[in-house]
Structure 1
């Protein structure tokens, strides 16, 4: 008896591989559990430290104000939460959420060691099914995490649901490079340099190969903008950084 080929609708991408939808979350979890302890060091190595500038700009242009309640999804090791905490002030709060326990633990330990306690909470959450009531937050942020979500449309709908009217979703993510020469250099770095750095620094070339592939499979600027609009966001705008290597998408709930 011949095997039945899987229905393409039941598969999704894990890097350049097609895998059953039900397996992607487990595979992504394995990647981030593997790299959690070296995640910040590898980010510095693979971006030459530029990721810190991208994140600072992301926070600085977020519009987050004193008293706001902010949900930071895929919050990982706490970079974005650390930047947002002073902005929400004593009367606001930041919930650092991540689906991966190892990444969440790294973020919690780091922020506790830095003395960042007041106004900060932690939640192990799946972005596709958030355990928060409707209209709970003034802003939802996600930095370098949306591309790892299995059902991005579901995650965008959930982000829109938990926002208050007038609230905004802010997405910082790798995107489509515009300049052909920069793209050539970027591809060389991603597929030739990055896995070697992963092997040298984190002892895990395979996970960093996946991260490079996941960037190429992520929707480009125009596609993600349309997805946000379909999820119910209004006034969606896009700002490219570093020639489109990354982009900030912003959308409002009205």
Structure 2
């Protein structure tokens, strides 16, 4: 089987927080019951959360999304200037089940604009970051007792342990162009996955098809076979979290090596 040499390799993360990923965001209705993954369900007895979406007024495009724990305690409040396209505008807030505010950020036209505040569970400020039109300006971090500490970024993306060049080499070596498709000009597949808190790739899915099954299957195969623990886990506000990533893989016959595997 001929080996694929990638013309280019693009690798970048899509943090799932604070972006909305729920499948109910096009709905304006009464109570929406949600499971732990915030997917809409019909059986309220299995719900972990419920949400209510409402317009600021009938003529306005502005929408307020409020998510609650099943206990009735508010869990999240997000303001949108519109849902199509989905644009956060105003406050985005997250709460613990005891009512403690954990995250409070200002947005303008879909970008952070103003302050991003996070809090320890005891209510002590954890960070105060300032943004303008989506650009980080400055920030301060604090320990649980309120003492200022060395600053660390709110989001730290996962990284391949051995560097991006090594990851590119791995893909070049292990991604193959199906020989039965040598007459095809090429294709591009976008694969999504999560890097978990142990640095493993999980939940690999096809985000964008090449419209050719063999390309799609090969892209999924090579990503799934990346060895466990190959990534340094990402962090959000100093804590390891799952990060959603996406990886475009280009199949280009003009860049095939001539040797067979």
Tell me the TM-score normalized by structure 1: 0.25
The structure number with the bigger radius of gyration is: 2
User: Per residue, is there more helix in 1 or in 2?
Assistant: 1
Tell me the TM-score normalized by structure 2: 0.25
